[in-house]
């Protein structure tokens, strides 16, 4: 491009953008944003700043205008979404409903910025695969995690009990048994060791400590399991409501995800049709 052709192109672009703003044409304004982002290889989020000379008030005014149309589209396009005037997107209108995300006006998408928001779609996919056992599978996974330390202590106790039970047998076949033991006993019967009662008391102490650790760990695990189980039950009920809302509107969770992936394209098609109808 020569200087003159570049200036001519910019003048035509800004004249078109000005006309789009004067006409309050959402479709043409977004077209200008998309064209600028593509030509200058800018991120969409940076493009309004470039077009409006990085004037914060002007950018805010453009954002607020475009947001109104995008929110109206979302409310109609995905009827079970409840979108606040500020752009927060909620899944349904039931008690304990979850926030699904927040709209990105310039990109025409829904952003999920928290772990809770990002977990919704995977949970819906898991529920779709096995609705009848969704809760039971979660509870079992939580049980294994919660009682892992308890199970380990229980195994240690069983091993200690087995070790203790085998001690009398070892004593009867130990150093005082066999040919060597017979010879030693024959040569010097007074050398045969007598059972040590203090030793048995000392051996019982680790077992008692192990049992105390097991009891404490199990009590804590029981309390944690009961609390987490209730939370899982509530969460599973919410996921069931969400799944029912999705399948009432779409054939599957996959189709719902496809709708989300194409929000920007579908929004622009709707705005183009709206503009064509207004100019007809």
The HSE-up count of residue 128 (CA atoms within 13 Å, CB side) is 19
Q: Is residue 191 assigned to a domain?
A: yes
CA distance 94 to 58: 38
Residue 221 shares a structural domain with residue 274: no
Provide the residue count of the chain. 280
Q: Which residues pair with 90 in a beta bridge?
A: 82, 99
Give yes or no: residues 175 and 200 share one domain: yes
In a domain, 126, yes or no: no
Looking at residue 93, what DSSP letter applies?
S
Structure confidence by residue, pLDDT tens digits, 190-224: 555 555 555 454 455 577 888 888 889 999 999 99
DSSP for residue 174: S
User: For residue 230, which of 128, 139, 116, 98 has the smallest C-alpha distance?
Assistant: 139
Q: What is the pLDDT of residue 211?
A: 84
In a domain, 203, yes or no: yes
Mean pLDDT (the chain) is: 87
Phi first, then psi, for residue 132 (nearest 5°) are: -70, -30
Cα three-residue angle 94-99-101, rounded to 5 degrees: 145
Tell me if 106 is assigned to some domain.
yes
235-277 pLDDT tens trace: 999 999 999 999 999 999 999 999 999 999 999 999 999 999 8
CA distance 112 to 122: 13
Domain identity same for 22 and 109: yes
165: in domain = yes
Q: How many domains does the chain have?
A: 2
Tell me, yes or no, whether 124 lies in a domain.
Answer: no
- Residues 73 and 158 grouped into a single domain: no
Is residue 100 within 8 A of residue 117, CB to CB? The reply is: yes
Mark whether 142 and 79 lie in a shared domain: no
Residues 207 and 145 in one domain: yes
Among candidate residues 125, 114, 119, 108, the one with its CA nearest the CA of residue 260: 108
Identify the domain containing residue 180 by its residue range: 133-249
pLDDT value for 176: 47
Work out the pLDDT band at 167, boundaries 50, 70, 90: low
């Amino acid at each position: 491009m020569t200087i003159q052709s570049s200036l001519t192109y910019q003048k035509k672009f800004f004249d078109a953008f000005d006309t789009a703003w004067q006409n309050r044409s959402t479709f043409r304004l977004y077209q200008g944003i998309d064209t600028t982002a593509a030509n200058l290889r800018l991120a969409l989020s940076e493009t309004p700043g470039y077009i409006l000379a990085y004037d914060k008030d002007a950018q805010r005014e453009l954002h607020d205008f475009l947001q109104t149309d995008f929110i109206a589209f979302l409310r109609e396009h995905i009827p079970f979404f409840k979108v606040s005037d500020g752009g927060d997107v909620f899944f349904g209108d039931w008690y304990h409903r979850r926030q699904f995300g927040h709209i990105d006006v310039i990109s025409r998408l829904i952003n999920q910025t928290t772990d809770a928001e990002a977990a919704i779609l995977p949970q819906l996919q898991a529920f779709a695969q096995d609705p009848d056992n969704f809760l039971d599978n979660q509870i079992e996974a939580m049980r294994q995690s919660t009682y892992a330390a308890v199970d380990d202590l229980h195994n240690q106790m069983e091993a200690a009990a087995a070790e203790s039970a085998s001690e009398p047998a070892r004593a009867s076949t130990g150093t005082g048994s066999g040919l060597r033991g017979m010879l030693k006993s024959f040569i010097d019967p007074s050398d045969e060791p007598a059972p040590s009662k203090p030793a048995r008391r000392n051996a019982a102490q680790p077992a008692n400590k192990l049992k105390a650790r097991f009891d404490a760990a199990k009590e804590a695990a029981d309390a944690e399991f009961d609390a987490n189980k209730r939370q899982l039950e509530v969460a599973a009920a919410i996921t069931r409501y969400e799944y029912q809302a999705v399948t009432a509107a779409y054939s599957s969770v996959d189709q719902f995800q496809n709708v989300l992936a194409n929000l920007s394209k579908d929004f622009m098609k709707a705005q183009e049709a709206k503009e064509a109808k207004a100019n007809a």
